Structure 1
């Protein structure tokens, strides 16, 4: 559970901004983000165990961030935890706090979207891919299906990849053979190994990988060309995916904006077909 709050998490991410991290260091950074409040009071050995790395790796990570060792980094983490303070998200009962944290996550996402040009570029990239494979396994599968349901109304060939196993690589290869140039992936905790393997295979096959994931230092960052972060709520028994779902619809809007005439034609054709078949009551 993240005890640091949205502002504290933003400050923690700022520590990593502009620093070239190795895959191992990226794993440590992601561990600190996921355990933001508690990490400030953990030893280097405990952080290493949480991240699944060696203790010397934690020390090298602290030095890569400009500190003379992990104790200095831990002092900095404590400062961030303290200055983050108690905000509106700390008021009310546990359920209210969980919802308010989601509001913070959405507010943070809104701030990231200030660079509208970046999202517009992603929209053009995905709109141009025919077909457009959309990957989401396990907890991410419903988001991939939700995105694909609406995307299919404006894109001629959307292919959902929501099952792992040996057939997943085959379906990626088939999409490439059919002309795909990009892949949209939803990569959410607990990060299925098959998802990361599929991202690696997609890039090896020549696809440009766009990943919607929970953090800029998530494991997906090592296997994606474009990382679009949207925080996941962790205050309930199961994660809340409000911000990633919102970001998915923002990306779909960017796809529509990339080809407005084609989008309008396809939507009108769908509405005509829906009316003829009386699909909806209203």
Structure 2
């Protein structure tokens, strides 16, 4: 189900509303409004120390804003300012108090995975599987960190259907795709923070050429939302030196399974692939003991 996008504007409106509930919350709100980018890197205790209030006050402020607690608050804030982060700033997760407490990255990934059942029931996921299954040529596209997901998706999707290709910057497909538009082609892009400009520009060109584009991205205010249809929003975890993609990988595996269910002759294809692997001795086998 598509939920209302939270933007920095609505976040600041929530901060302003929480400020009206108590004098301490007003004090916290004033700091967060001015230093929201810095606050996105802070633990509850660090934020409390910076403002001069108790850690419990930070938790109560988070709840007053409508969040379940500080973890929910800071996770939302991180998502809003993530594209502004530079890698050196994220070293805070290595040497600060973040590293000594219960790992927020693991907590984020657990929450992301727990949300997948609802996401898998979303109509956007079914539309993605149908679009991939019906396309004769599927171009899996991405740039920088987003492109690391593509080999996994291509390897398994190719076992289900023909016509799967990969496009990343400086590859032949990236450079030449769209010169002779094919209505039976589908581009499936992974567009995650920090939203590579090369990828966004490439997708904008395809859209101008009326080439069908589908996309996975992390939120409904992503630049991919206006460049693709269908769009599947799946969260990535950001509480680490680098983003983590556990939920997207699991979702891709699920969608490939849905594509397989829509593909005629799947059993025969899988049997033929297995026979080829056996003939080529593709896998290690334990030697027979005598």
Q: TM-score range by the shorter chain?
A: 0.5 to 0.7
Q: Distance in 2 between matches of 1:199 and 1:30?
A: 28
Write out per-residue CA displacement over residues 152-208 of structure 1, whole angstroms, 9 at most, x where no aligned residue. 11111111002248972422435x34x533211111111111111121222233322
- In terms of mean alpha carbon deviation, does 271-280 or 192-201 score higher? 192-201
Matched, 1:202 2:206: yes
Matched residue, 1:103 = 110
Retained in 2: the 8 A contact 1:209–1:224? yes
Write out per-residue CA displacement over residues 75-115 of structure 1, whole angstroms, 9 at most, x where no aligned residue. xx965646422579999944633112101011123222223
Q: Distance in 1 between matches of 2:158 and 2:9?
A: 36
Matched residue, 1:3 = none
Q: 1:99 to 1:118 in 2, by over 3 A?
A: same
* Moved >3 Å (runs of 4+): 13-17, 28-32, 37-40, 77-83, 86-95, 164-167
Match for residue 271 of structure 1 among 260, 271, 274 = 274
Q: 1:152 to 1:240 in 2, by over 3 A?
A: same
Write out per-residue CA displacement over residues 130-165 of structure 1, whole angstroms, 9 at most, x where no aligned residue. 111110111011201110011111111111002248
Matched residue, 1:143 = 149
Retained in 2: the 8 A contact 1:98–1:233? yes
Match for residue 240 of structure 1 among 244, 253, 258 = 244
Matched residue, 1:85 = 69
Q: Distance in 2 between matches of 1:191 and 1:236?
A: 17
Matched, 1:189 2:193: yes
Matched residue, 1:280 = 283
Deviation at 1:39, TM superposition (A): 11
Retained in 1: the 8 A contact 2:139–2:185? no
Matched, 1:16 2:11: no
Match for residue 217 of structure 1 among 216, 221, 229 = 221
SS in 2 for 1:42: helix
Contiguous gaps of at least 5 residues in structure 2: 13-27, 41-60, 76-97, 286-290
Q: 1:94 to 1:146 in 2, by over 3 A?
A: farther
Matched residue, 1:262 = 265
Bigger Rg over Cα: 2
Write out per-residue CA displacement over residues 245-264 of structure 1, whole angstroms, 9 at most, x where no aligned residue. 112212212211211x3322
Matched, 1:152 2:158: yes
> Would you say how many aligned residue pairs link Structure 1 and Structure 2?
225
SS in 1 for 2:150: helix
Q: Distance in 1 between matches of 2:31 and 2:112?
A: 22
Contiguous gaps of at least 5 residues in structure 1: 1-9, 18-25, 51-76
Q: Structure 1-normalised TM-score? A: 0.67
Q: Structure 2-normalised TM-score? A: 0.65
